Amino acid sequence: MDCSSLFTIFKHHLAFLSTVFTSVVYCLVSVTNTTRSCWSFMDIPLIDQIYLSLSLSNPHVITFHSH
């Protein structure tokens, strides 16, 4: 098995894990949203909203900004 195929497999797993992680976070946000009705999605700063939508549409984004 060469490096490129190994990297491809790793990349797919990374994307999958990121998607799962994002889903869990999104679920927690939804639960928090329901529990505290005063807190709404619009209270999140615009940058976070853009980043969140980017993460949801492209799971790879979330992994590179974790530092």
Residues 6 or more apart whose Cβ sits within 8 Å of residue 67: none
Domain coordinates in residue numbering, the chain: 3-64
Predicted confidence at residue 19, as pLDDT, reads 84
Contact 33, 42 (CB under 8 A): no
Q: Is 62 exposed, middle or buried (0-12, 13-18, 19+ CB in 10 A)?
A: buried
pTM beyond 0.75: the answer is: no
Higher pLDDT, 59 or 19: 19
pLDDT at 67 over 70: no
Q: 8-57 pLDDT, tens per residue?
A: 878 878 888 888 888 888 877 777 666 555 445 555 566 676 777 777 77
Output Rg (C-alpha) for the chain, integer angstroms: 15
Predicted confidence at residue 34, as pLDDT, reads 66
